[in-house]
Amino acid sequence: MSITKRNFGTFEGQDVDLYTLTNKNGMSVSIMTYGGAMVNILTEDRNGKFADVILGFDDVYGYINDDTYQGALIGRYCNRIHQGKFSIDGVEYQLNVNEENVSNHLHGGHKGYDKRLWNVLYTSDYNEPSISLTLVDEDGMENYPGTVNVNVIYTLTEDNSIKIEYFATTDKPTPINLTNHSYFNLNGYDSGDILNHRAQLYTDKFTPFNENFCPTGEIASVKGTAYDFTSPKAVADAVNDTEDEQIRINLGVDNSFYYGRKGIMKHFATLYAPESGRILDTYSDQTAMQFYCGNYLKGVPGKNGSKLGYRNSICLETQYTPNTPNNDWLPSCIVYPGETYHFTTIYKFSHD
């Protein structure tokens, strides 16, 4: 069990550090201060061979130039707010719009948390290695109301889980929705597509989207749709379902699945790679998860000359449903002064 630190480059004249947490089993996760991003996750397969199972880049400069949010912490509001508009207590706000083709505010805007340098509050190798990152998001950034103090704690546990705890407080009412945007390939980041990965999602509900990629207002049943992952099935069976209009529009699966009540830890998903035997179980006390199959990756160079290619990864983004500030039928994402935003997500790795 250990924590190591090395330089990973510079950003705006400041050093970017990469911290590697290793547990007693030899599993490790590397986290950098730029974007609070997970850069590497090394875990073993059924034969005891270790491989890095998330996509990314060899140094910070790849992440700086990236527009796909590789491994990053996302905020102040992950996913979409339609037209960047919302109201709180009768006051209307207009955020910066950065998904201009459909007039949405996406993943925190032009300079979300993925494009910021985080501070290290502490590291600890007592019992289980962990790192605590902090960020001050000033009032008016991307036109959000209120100064938000964010704290994210990554812990690598003895049972090969990466626990991510999200905390935030604010001095004005504001929407907060944080997630991690890692792209997983359980055969290794350089092993090609994920079409043979088998997925099971422990919900029978999803939120169909409209022409702006925002929820229509319906919490629908997955029964009879390409989104029915209530039993394990190959990802190919969903992403190649050309009869489904939303699959065609998104070039594959990129939708929000609904899990209900917040604050209750739930088993969200199981992802399994038959080739390597690796298994990833996702747990969270959030209300929804964006399940995204790398439909918009364009093959740019990644780690060690690999390609960040079309459908060669899966994101499991635990969060509120998209456009929550404008949908009263969804659990509220508005945080008020005196309240603490707090959610936990666990990515547990194992093998058959």
Active site residues: 181, 317
What is the torsional sign of CA 50, 58, 199, 333?
positive
Q: Where does 243-340 show beta strands of DSSP type E?
A: 254-258, 266-272, 278-284, 288-292, 300-301, 307-308, 315-319, 334-335
322, 80 Cβ separation under 8 angstroms: yes
Beta strand 254-258 with 288-292 is antiparallel
92, 64 Cβ separation under 8 angstroms: no
Per the listing, tokens 């629908």 go with 220
DSSP letters along 212-240, please? TSSB-S--EE-TTSTT--SS-EEHHHHHT
Amino acid, res. 125 = D
168 Ramachandran zone, left/alpha/beta (phi>0; psi -120 to 50): beta
d(CA 223, CA 345): 26
Tell me the two tokens of residue 139. 């009032």
Q: Residue 311: what are its φ and ψ, rounded to 5°?
A: 60, 35
